[in-house]
Amino acid sequence: MTRARSFWTGVWAIAYREATVLRHDQAFLSMIIAQPIIMMTLFGWGLRNEPANVPWVVLDRSQTTASRRLVGDIQATGYFLPPVAVPDYPHGEARLRAGKAIAMLVVPQEFRRDLERGAARVQLLLDGSDPLTSARIGAYVAQVTARAAPGRAGPPPPRIDARQRFWFNRTLSDSHFFLAALVGMLLTNLCLSTMAQGIVGERERGTYEQMAALPTTALQIVLGKIVPLVGISLVILLVVQCAVGVVFGFWPQGSWAVLVVVTIPFVLASLAIGVLISALARSTAQSVFISVFAILPSFVLSGVMMPYELMPDGVRQLGGLLPLRWYQIALRAVIARGAGLVDVLVPLGALTGLLVVLLALASWRLPRRLG
C-alpha cells in the first residue's frame, strides 16, 4: 500500500471511530438536536426588534375631535397599547420613569385652532432606556403627524415624493434577518466546542496515549476528528435550511451549491479555532469554558444578532477577525438576497485567508500539546 493510501486509510479509520463515539454521546446528540430547535423557535418566532404592545400616555390639553383623531391615528399604526390619559406633566413623567410607559404625547390646548391655521404643534416625550424602540416609535409618530390633514381640503403634497422599497424582505421582518444566519450560530457552537472538548477529552481519558501508541500520526488523528464534524455540519446546514423553509416558508433564494461551497472553509476555520482552544485548555471543563467565552463574543461581534455596520470603529474591525462575520455575510447574501458565487467571493476569500492563518497557528501549537 502506498504511503498516501495508508495515510488516508488511517484517517478514515479514526474518522469512523470518532463518528461512532459521537453517535453514542448523549450530550452531543442533545446539542445538535435541541439547539437548532430552540434557536429556530426563538429567532423565527419569538424574538423581534420591531416594537409591539408599546404602552403610552396622552396628555391631551385640547380634548377636541381633532386631538382625539390624532391619538386615534397613532393608535391605528398598531404598535401601541391603548393609551392611558394623564392629567398633567408630572403624572406622565412619573409613568415614564417607572417604566410603565415608553412615550407621552402632549397635545397643547390650542391644538385645533393651530391645526386649522396650519401651524399645529405637539410634543412627544420618550423613554430613552431602550433606544432602538424609542427611535422607532419616534419615527412612527412622526410619520403620522407628517401625514395629518389640515383643516383644508386635500392632503398637502409631499415636497419630494420618495418611493420606497425594501428589497429581499418586503415586510422587513426581523425573523428573516435572524433565520438567515441561524446556521452560522449553530455551526460555530458545534465546531468550536466539540473539537475543543474532543481533543482534551482524549488526553484526559488516556485514550490519547493509546492512540499515540498506534502507528498513526498526530495529523491523521486531527484529520480523523475533523472529517465526521464536517460531514455533520453539512447535514445540519441542509436540514436546518429545509426546516426553516418548511416551518417559516423562508427558503434560500440562491443556490444550495454555493451555500455548501461557502460553508466548508467556515467549518474548517471554526474547527481550527476549536483545536487552538484545546491547546490552551488543561481539562475538558476548561475547554468548554473557553469555548463558551469564544462563542458568545462571536455571536455579538459578527453581526448575526445586531448589525455590525452600526458598531464603532475598532470594534467593527475586530469582528472582522471572526470567521462567523464573513460566513454570515455570505449566508445572508445567498439565502436572503439570492447571491451567486461571484457575489460572495469577498467573504469566501476572507474565510479562506482566516483558515490558512488558523491552520498555521494550530499546527504550530498542537504538536507540542499532543506530544
Q: 42 or 246, CB closer to another protein? A: 42
Q: How far is the CB of 295 from another protein (least distance, A)?
A: 8
Residues 263-282 touching another protein, rule: CB under 8 A, are: 282
Residues 333-362 touching another protein, rule: CB under 8 A, are: 333, 336-339, 343-344, 346
Q: How far is the CB of 13 from another protein (least distance, A)?
A: 26
CB atoms within 10 A of CB 120: 22
Q: 11 or 106, CB closer to another protein? A: 106
Q: How far is the CB of 65 from another protein (least distance, A)?
A: 15
Q: Specify the long-range contacts of residues 285-288, CB closer than 8 Å, at least 24 apart.
A: 286/200, 287/193, 287/196, 287/197, 287/200, 288/193, 288/196, 288/197
Q: 124 or 219, CB closer to another protein? A: 124
Cell of 251: 427558503
Q: How far is the CB of 341 from another protein (least distance, A)?
A: 11
Residues 223-252 touching another protein, rule: CB under 8 A, are: none
172: left (phi over 0), alpha (psi -120 to 50) or beta: left
Per CB under 8 A, 286 contacts another protein: yes
Cell of 151: 383643516
Q: 42 or 85, CB closer to another protein? A: 42
Provide the terminal-to-terminal Cα distance of the chain, rounded to the nearest Å: 27
Compute the distance between CA of residue 73 and CA of residue 107 in angstroms, rounded to an integer: 14
With CB under 8 A, what is the number of residues at the site for another protein? 113
Q: How far is the CB of 16 from another protein (least distance, A)?
A: 24
Residues 10-29 touching another protein, rule: CB under 8 A, are: 27
Tracing cell 469512523 back to the chain, one arrives at 16
SS3 (DSSP) at 230: helix
Question: Is residue 241 within 8 Å of residue 252, measured between CB atoms?
Answer: yes
Q: How far is the CB of 33 from another protein (least distance, A)?
A: 12
Sequence-ordered list of residues with C-beta below 8 angstroms from that of 206, at least 6 positions apart, any chain: none
> Which range in 4-12, 238-246, 304-312, 351-359 contacts another protein by CB under 8 A?
304-312
Closest CA to 225 of 74, 26, 370: 370
Q: Could you tell me the CA-to-CA distances from 306 to 77, 107, 325 in Å, in that order?
A: 25, 35, 11
Compute the distance between CA of residue 289 and CA of residue 189 in angstroms, rounded to an integer: 12
Residues 176-195 touching another protein, rule: CB under 8 A, are: 176-177, 180, 193
Residues 111-150 touching another protein, rule: CB under 8 A, are: 115, 118-136, 138-139, 141-142, 145-150
Residues 26-85 touching another protein, rule: CB under 8 A, are: 27, 31, 34-35, 38, 42, 45-55, 70
- Interaction pattern, residues 313-332, with another protein; x per rule: CB under 8 A: --x-------------x--x
> Which range in 5-13, 57-65, 161-169, 231-239 contacts another protein by CB under 8 A?
161-169
